[in-house]
Chain A
Amino acid sequence: MKSLEELKAIRETMQAQMGLRKEDSNQTRIVVGMATCGIASGARPVLVALSDIIQEKGLTNVMVTQTGCIGLCQYEPIVEIVEPGKDKVTYVNMTPEKALEVVDQHIVRGQIVSKYTISEMIG
């Protein structure tokens, strides 16, 4: 170890991975439906893609978690984004590619990708 910068570089890479272990009520939660219906329609790759991109981008204030069946099995994989103090946004018929787009637009830029939301698909 030759400098504080070198130490900082290691710290930042590791913190992105360990952000998972933070307990903070101000976190944004990305919730993936992982009941039998979700898994059958391909929720696993979506979940993995989401957690990978979050850590890659070092978004320590975002956590990716799972939930059970919410009753809209035909629209699975379903991904919900819950930001503190805002309305929940529900995305349906997700794929890993669409999920990455959602992270890029919604989480990073703060713009809801309305073409994938449940209101667009059903309503």
Chain B
Amino acid sequence: MYRSHVLVCGGTGCTSSGTPKVLEALNKEIKKASLEKEVSVVQTGCHGLCALGPIIVIYPEATFYSMVKPEDVPEIVNEHLLKGRIVTRLVYDETVTEEGITSINETNFYKKQHRIALRNCGVINPESIDEYIATNGYEALGLALTKYTPEQVIQIILDSGLRGRGGGGFPTGLKWKLAKGNDADQKYVCCNADEGDPGAFMDRSVLEGDPHVVLEAMAIAGYAIGASMGYIYIRAEYPIAVDRLTIAINQAREYGLLGNNIFGTDFNFDIELRLGAGAFVCGEETALLTSIEGNRGEPRPRPPFPAQKGLFQKPTILNNVETYANIPPIILNGSDWFSSMGTEKAKGTKVFALGGKINNTGLVEIPMGTTLREVVEEIGGGIPGGKKFKAAQTGGPSGGCIPSSHYDIPIDYDNLLEIGSMMGSGGLIVMDEENCMVDIAKFFLEFTVDESCGKCTPCRVGTKRLYEILEKITAGNGTMEDLDKLEVLCKYIHENSLCGLGQSAPNPVLSTLHFFKDEYIAHVVDRKCPAGVCKALLSYVIEADLCKGCTLCSRSCPSDAISGKVKEAHVIDQNKCIKCGVCKDKCRFGAISIR
């Protein structure tokens, strides 16, 4: 029996900022203080506040320590664990108030969140099936198998209004119903864990923090559609998630929660992992299924849809990790509970990965219909340096941007589509006035050009041409005709590509062109980059009256482009300047400006 639980975040974010060393120090110090029989150290999944890692939470006090370094550990053990004195200097600032230390749930970051898919992340030990069971784990599976018919299970999911969380937003219950309706000797349940959008990592966090929920949900889906086999397609770049899933599958088999005659019924179900080699196109459903079959991951035309002919030509359902994470709570709490959250057409919550120019980089789960302003200003803690919000990019390379004129838009599938963006898997990249929108569009195009599988011409050649036009514009060689060409080409690629990758690839260009046309025009007509990003269009200049002649810039310049005598104003030779910006960073007098 332990009197205190020390939860150490073992998500990928915290792991890369030093969890393994902190954990090692913790175990050493606890042993030194002879507390190992009183204090249990548990490695959990992601808490969401990745920017502040490594995170340690100590119960029963629920003290939330952030940015813990190995050298802080002796103090935590000797003060907090031994003497019960909270080490205030290491506690997350937001929880320290005049009245003392408040609960983490009272902070701006967590207050407006509603955690369903992430409910166990950071709370349980993902490598312990018992801890998952303690939080009502596998109860939903037991209930479905013993109390409900497959039709009833599908009806509950239909009534809940749950829609796919991977991007498209197709009603999950309908997908299951279609697969159920197709008779076959064998059907399959697949899980899409090939999270490839740059900046999105919610699926990884669910798998790392709560792997059993996905297994349980897949078994429920198997029961509903009449499948006995499931595959999780996960990218090999997620080693921690792969490890925890492997452990979870073994534990579930040991407990008889996977295998034959689950819960004493005649239902049999097993799950295997398939590792993807990291191709973005394998997140597309037909390409993913082709890859599981052992073939090169390329999409194929639909119909037939996977619900008719999917994996190995058998009826198959494919859902995303976050979608599955919602299934057990819906079965346990009922469809009314779930559909009471969110908006009219989008129920429940959505997890977003906040990134870019935002203070609280990390994972947040919010009810559908929360406004972008609330997400950025309140939960995300605003933009660093008091800079102005310019736009947010959602949906990664398939999505578009939301400009400040739509700052108060309630986030759901349809609202985002209407303004030319999409929910996508939930990456949300915040941009301020120092981001160039043409450059952003170019960045995403570079990604899609790289990741296009090459099967169909509109995508393979079209995205490359789009990228070249954008390159021309950012190099200062664009013409107004190029802008028209961009638009025509975008429409062509959208209408003619084989799969979602190509069809949505023009979105970043179209939406920036729509909302920030003046920025494109500035690049073309004035040969200027208003945000000061596109190097070819910038020149660094020393303001003679501000320059003190300290020579620091000239000594720092990597290309010897700055000349001048001591205590006299310096000059930059534009022919030699490589626009690296080192001089501007080094100057103590603010004498160097960008024109």
**Set of chain B residues within 8 Å of A1, measured between Cβ atoms:** 138, 142, 255-257, 262-263
**Set of chain A residues within 8 Å of B4, measured between Cβ atoms:** 20, 51
Instruction: A21 to B124: give the CA distance in the assembly, Å.
Output: 9
Instruction: A52 to B59: give the CA distance in the assembly, Å.
Output: 15
Known: A1-B257, A7-B139, A65-B61. A14 touches B84 (CB 8 A): no
Instruction: A55 to B2: give the CA distance in the assembly, Å.
Output: 9
Instruction: A56 to B261: give the CA distance in the assembly, Å.
Output: 33
Flag whether B488 is at the interface (Cβ < 8 A). no
Instruction: A36 to B2: give the CA distance in the assembly, Å.
Output: 21
A23-B62, A39-B82 known, 9 other contacts, Cβ within 8 Å: A1-B138, A1-B255, A1-B257, A2-B264, A4-B143, A11-B133, A14-B131, A20-B4, A51-B4
Nearest-CB residue, chain A, relative to B38 = A48
Partner-A contacts on B (CB < 8 A): 1-5, 7, 37-38, 59-62, 82-85, 103, 105, 123-124, 130-131, 133-136, 138-139, 142-143, 146, 255-257, 261-264
**Set of chain B residues within 8 Å of A66, measured between Cβ atoms:** 83-84
Q: Assess whether A65 is in contact with B84, with CB atoms less than 8 Å apart.
A: yes
What 9 A-B pairs are tightest by C-beta distance, nearest first? A66-B84, A51-B3, A14-B134, A63-B60, A52-B1, A1-B256, A2-B264, A34-B84, A4-B142
Distance between A49 CB and nearest chain B CB, rounded to angstroms = 10
Q: Can you pick out 14 interface pairs between chain A and chain B where the beta carbons lie within 8 Å of each other?
A: A1-B138, A1-B257, A4-B142, A7-B139, A7-B142, A11-B133, A11-B134, A18-B5, A18-B124, A23-B62, A50-B3, A55-B2, A65-B60, A65-B84
Q: Assess whether A47 is in contact with B5, with CB atoms less than 8 Å apart.
A: no
Instruction: A35 to B124: give the CA distance in the assembly, Å.
Output: 31
Distance between A5 CB and nearest chain B CB, rounded to angstroms = 10
Q: Assess whether A67 is in contact with B60, with CB atoms less than 8 Å apart.
A: no
Distance between B91 CB and nearest chain A CB, rounded to angstroms = 15
Distance between A72 CB and nearest chain B CB, rounded to angstroms = 16
Distance between B272 CB and nearest chain A CB, rounded to angstroms = 20
Distance between B147 CB and nearest chain A CB, rounded to angstroms = 9
Distance between B294 CB and nearest chain A CB, rounded to angstroms = 32
**Set of chain B residues within 8 Å of A15, measured between Cβ atoms:** 134
Q: Assess whether B138 is in contact with A7, with CB atoms less than 8 Å apart.
A: yes
Q: Assess whether B130 is in contact with A10, with CB atoms less than 8 Å apart.
A: yes
Question: Which one of B3, B38, B61, B82 has the highest number of Cβ atoms from chain A below 10 Å of its Cβ?
Answer: B3
**Set of chain A residues within 8 Å of B62, measured between Cβ atoms:** 21, 23
**Set of chain B residues within 8 Å of A36, measured between Cβ atoms:** 83
> Which residues, 1 to 32 on A, are CB-close (under 8 Å) to B?
1-4, 7, 10-11, 13-15, 17-18, 20-21, 23, 32
Interface of A is mostly: helix
Q: Assess whether A34 is in contact with B82, with CB atoms less than 8 Å apart.
A: yes
**Set of chain A residues within 8 Å of B103, measured between Cβ atoms:** 23
Q: Of B59, B82, B85, B130, which contacts A20 at CB under 8 A?
A: B59
Known: A35-B83, A64-B3. A51 touches B262 (CB 8 A): no
Q: Assess whether A47 is in contact with B262, with CB atoms less than 8 Å apart.
A: no
Distance between A24 CB and nearest chain B CB, rounded to angstroms = 10
> Which residues, 32 to 54 on A, are CB-close (under 8 Å) to B?
32, 34-36, 39, 44, 47-48, 50-52
Q: Chain A, 69-84, contact with B by CB distance < 8 Å: what is the 0/1 string?
A: 0000000000000000
Q: Of B83, B123, B142, B263, which contacts A68 at CB under 8 A?
A: B83
**Set of chain A residues within 8 Å of B142, measured between Cβ atoms:** 1, 3-4, 7
Q: Assess whether A4 is in contact with B84, with CB atoms less than 8 Å apart.
A: no
Q: Assess whether A51 is in contact with B2, with CB atoms less than 8 Å apart.
A: yes
Q: Assess whether B136 is in contact with A11, with CB atoms less than 8 Å apart.
A: yes
Nearest-CB residue, chain B, relative to A62 = B60
Instruction: A108 to B408: give the CA distance in the assembly, Å.
Output: 52
Q: Assess whether B130 is in contact with A14, with CB atoms less than 8 Å apart.
A: yes
Q: Assess whether A21 is in contact with B123, with CB atoms less than 8 Å apart.
A: yes
Distance between B357 CB and nearest chain A CB, rounded to angstroms = 32
Instruction: A18 to B262: give the CA distance in the assembly, Å.
Output: 26
**Set of chain B residues within 8 Å of A44, measured between Cβ atoms:** 38
Question: Which one of A2, A7, A63, A67 has the highest number of Cβ atoms from chain B below 10 Å of its Cβ?
Answer: A7
Distance between B559 CB and nearest chain A CB, rounded to angstroms = 57
Q: Of A13, A20, A35, A56, which contacts B60 at CB under 8 A?
A: A20
Instruction: A19 to B539: give the CA distance in the assembly, Å.
Output: 62
Q: Assess whether B82 is in contact with A48, with CB atoms less than 8 Å apart.
A: no
**Set of chain B residues within 8 Å of A23, measured between Cβ atoms:** 62, 103, 105
Q: Assess whether B133 is in contact with A7, with CB atoms less than 8 Å apart.
A: yes
**Set of chain A residues within 8 Å of B83, measured between Cβ atoms:** 34-36, 39, 66, 68
Distance between B111 CB and nearest chain A CB, rounded to angstroms = 14
Q: Assess whether B146 is in contact with A21, with CB atoms less than 8 Å apart.
A: no
**Set of chain A residues within 8 Å of B139, measured between Cβ atoms:** 4, 7, 11
Q: Assess whether B3 is in contact with A47, with CB atoms less than 8 Å apart.
A: yes
Instruction: A4 to B111: give the CA distance in the assembly, Å.
Output: 35
**Set of chain B residues within 8 Å of A10, measured between Cβ atoms:** 130, 133-134
Nearest-CB residue, chain B, relative to A10 = B133
Q: Assess whether B60 is in contact with A4, with CB atoms less than 8 Å apart.
A: no
Instruction: A44 to B5: give the CA distance in the assembly, Å.
Output: 16
**Set of chain A residues within 8 Å of B135, measured between Cβ atoms:** 18
Q: Assess whether B134 is in contact with A3, with CB atoms less than 8 Å apart.
A: no
Instruction: A48 to B2: give the CA distance in the assembly, Å.
Output: 8
Nearest-CB residue, chain B, relative to A30 = B60
Q: Assess whether A3 is in contact with B1, with CB atoms less than 8 Å apart.
A: no
Distance between B266 CB and nearest chain A CB, rounded to angstroms = 13
Known: A4-B142, A7-B139. A21 touches B7 (CB 8 A): yes
Distance between A93 CB and nearest chain B CB, rounded to angstroms = 19
Distance between A103 CB and nearest chain B CB, rounded to angstroms = 13
Distance between A26 CB and nearest chain B CB, rounded to angstroms = 13
Q: Assess whether B59 is in contact with A56, with CB atoms less than 8 Å apart.
A: no
Instruction: A35 to B136: give the CA distance in the assembly, Å.
Output: 38
**Set of chain B residues within 8 Å of A63, measured between Cβ atoms:** 60
Instruction: A21 to B138: give the CA distance in the assembly, Å.
Output: 20
**Set of chain B residues within 8 Å of A56, measured between Cβ atoms:** 1
Q: Assess whether A55 is in contact with B123, with CB atoms less than 8 Å apart.
A: no
Nearest-CB residue, chain A, relative to B57 = A21
**Set of chain B residues within 8 Å of A65, measured between Cβ atoms:** 60-61, 84
Q: Of B3, B59, B130, B136, which contacts A21 at CB under 8 A?
A: B59
Nearest-CB residue, chain A, relative to B4 = A20
Distance between A19 CB and nearest chain B CB, rounded to angstroms = 9
Q: Assess whether B263 is in contact with A4, with CB atoms less than 8 Å apart.
A: yes
Instruction: A51 to B2: give the CA distance in the assembly, Å.
Output: 7
Instruction: A66 to B84: give the CA distance in the assembly, Å.
Output: 5
**Set of chain B residues within 8 Å of A13, measured between Cβ atoms:** 130
Instruction: A63 to B387: give the CA distance in the assembly, Å.
Output: 45
**Set of chain A residues within 8 Å of B38, measured between Cβ atoms:** 44, 47-48, 51
